[in-house]
Amino acid sequence: MESLRVAVRQQPSEDSRLRALYALVVLGITQREVALHFHVGERSLRRWKKQFEETGTVGRRSNCESNSKFNCDHEHWIRSFIDKHPLEDISLSTISRIINKLGYTRKVCCISAMQAVVER
């Protein structure tokens, strides 16, 4: 039963959002029926529709504009690094073990990465 509760709380993927909008707009299924089928609120459907009309996408909005400890430059640096050096078949736990084996902590890695971006 616990796994069911966790699954319901997950954010819908962009694909699920697009399918819901397709059912709502193209197929003409009522908002209530679409919301029940996709396990989302009707308010979410309205928000996704508005976002799609304004931006052409229904993906989650980027948090790099928020007041977080990293900014868009950090996000773009990490994305370009991963694009240039793909980590195929390496889990996050393996990466964490390697970092710890080298004597670094997560905080040290984050600070070093941020300093590298600032120095550029």
pLDDT, tens only, 33-49: 999 999 999 999 999 99
User: Which element (helix H / strand E) includes 73?
Assistant: helix 72-84
- Inter-residue contact 65 to 72 (CB < 8 Å): yes
Q: Which of 48, 46, 40 is nearest to 11 (CA)?
A: 40
pTM score = 0.47
Question: pLDDT tens digits for 81-94?
Answer: 878 877 777 787 88
Residues 6 or more apart in contact with residue 115 via CB below 8 angstroms: none
